[in-house]
Amino acid sequence: MEKRSIGLVSLVCLVIGNMIGSSVYISTSYAIGALGDARWVLIAWAIAGVHAICGAIAYSALASRFSLNGGEYVFLSRFVHPAVGCMAGWISIVAGFTVPIAAAGLIFGQYIADSPDSIWQSQVLATLWIAACAIFHSVNLRTGAWVNNAVVGLKFVGFMIFAIACAMFLMRVSPSDGFQPAMDQSFFATDYLKRVDEQGFLKILLVQLFFIALAYTGFNASIYIGGEAPSSLVSRSMILSCVLVTATYLILNALFMMCDTRESIEAGRDYFVKGVARNVGGASLEWVMRITIALSSATSVLAMLATGPRVISQMSSDGWLPKIFSGSQTPRLAIGLQALASCLILWRASLIDVISYLGLTLTMCGAIATSTLWIAYREMQARKPVAWWEHLATAVYIGGALLLIAGAWVARREQFYHCLVTFISGLVVYLIAKWWQRKPAE
């Protein structure tokens, strides 16, 4: 039976596919300029990783007590209020999947075409890949998962080649060569910790944490297909994936900053990793990393097209969206709708420029969703006693989310207006659906 056909490896690859996108290849270039010390950059990545792991534990606590497709929508609509659930579901569809799929597809196209300035080539390649992913997932979840597993595996092969090349590079360079890497001091030297006392430094760190945390979004991906896998595997997949991705991010960023100069990393901006690879292994390693980055975006599209349509299908089954998109374990019409909506957005390239608000929107939605563990505490406790470490992880995640929201307020205040519009639009969808449900009876 297909409902329980996806295993732990596929779930882990699904989460990793959602998490490792383009942010890890961008954020460090800006962070090192703002924080001024490579060691603080790694600390920021570690803090964001711990926050994501706590979020994974909090979501796992919910998943282990309620097994159904739909993610935040299901938890909030069942245990808080249908209006809150509908709003969260709408946010998941728009901010969690539709726009990110378009953005990931566009980045995939840019790196495959290797021509960032030729937008139409990137759009064509992105459209073709999104359509291909929709076809894979329309066969069944297992087929889409197998393809995703293979692409995630290729991505990690790229990471391994890069890591080996970096190790060989570090063995043959020496200070006498005049090479001064961005990370040229030991963590055991405590001089960099004194910056905490500098006025405004914690504010700078908070802002950088907000942007770095974007690279960890998607750690809850497997809850969206919670009804198609054992709840124990869904819970374990989020925690295991988060730990693995955190370790991967720390290793990659350490290698980036050990194998290139601070000036080069800052100057490279969104494409600094290509410069690091060229410095380490010439044009051949640059090509490997270009393809690896493209695969990172490719798996994001694959993973999100597996999970997003499940939210559409579940909301349709509950009557908040047209019934035509509900009913099947392989929601082909919902998959087609999700793919079509993302393609329409990526051809409106100007809309991609505002996707940075998504991190704030999803962080707020995640904080609301995980609070369900407390809001519906009696029912959660009745299903399975809530452990102290689940309480602690939820508290850390929600507290960290509030700090990240504060960072967004400082860094990109206009994002709050985009976020507010998204939340309001979800309530409008709920009110329209409620009116439509009552209409025949009047």
Distances (CA, A) of 75 to 104, 118, 366, 379, 386: 27, 43, 11, 12, 16
Tokens of 373: 């563990």
Of the ranges 180-194, 244-258, 370-384, which one carries the lowest mean pLDDT score?
180-194
| pLDDT at res. 415 | 73
Q: Taking 80 as the threshold, does the pLDDT of residue 208 lie above it?
A: yes
C-alpha triplet 239, 243, 249: angle, nearest 5°? 140
Q: Taking 60 as the threshold, does the pLDDT of residue 396 lie above it?
A: yes
Burial class (CB in 10 A: 0-12, 13-18, 19+), 284: exposed
- Taking residues 148-167, report their average pLDDT: 93
Alpha-helical segments (H) within 259-355: 262-268, 272-317, 332-346
Across 21-25, 258-262, 422-426, 431-435, the highest mean pLDDT is recorded for: 258-262
CA distance 405 to 359: 9
pTM (2 decimals)?
A: 0.90
Mean pLDDT of the chain: 86
Give all domains of the chain, ordered by start, each with its CATH number. 2-441 (1.20.1740.10)
What sign for the dihedral angle of Cα 31, 34, 37, 42?
negative
Q: Taking 70 as the threshold, does the pLDDT of residue 442 lie above it?
A: no
What sign for the dihedral angle of Cα 392, 232, 136, 87?
negative
| pLDDT at res. 59 | 93
The model's pLDDT over 75-117, given as tens digits with 9 standing for 90+, comes to 888 888 889 989 888 888 888 888 889 888 988 988 888 876 6
Tokens of 229: 């896998």
Of the ranges 167-181, 189-203, 339-353, 384-398, which one carries the lowest mean pLDDT score?
339-353
SS (H, E, C) 366-387: HHHHHCHHHHCHHHHHHHCCCC
CA distance 9 to 427: 37
Q: Provide the pLDDT confidence category of residue 345 given band limits of 50, 70 and 90.
A: confident
Of the ranges 33-42, 125-134, 139-148, 150-159, which one carries the lowest mean pLDDT score?
139-148
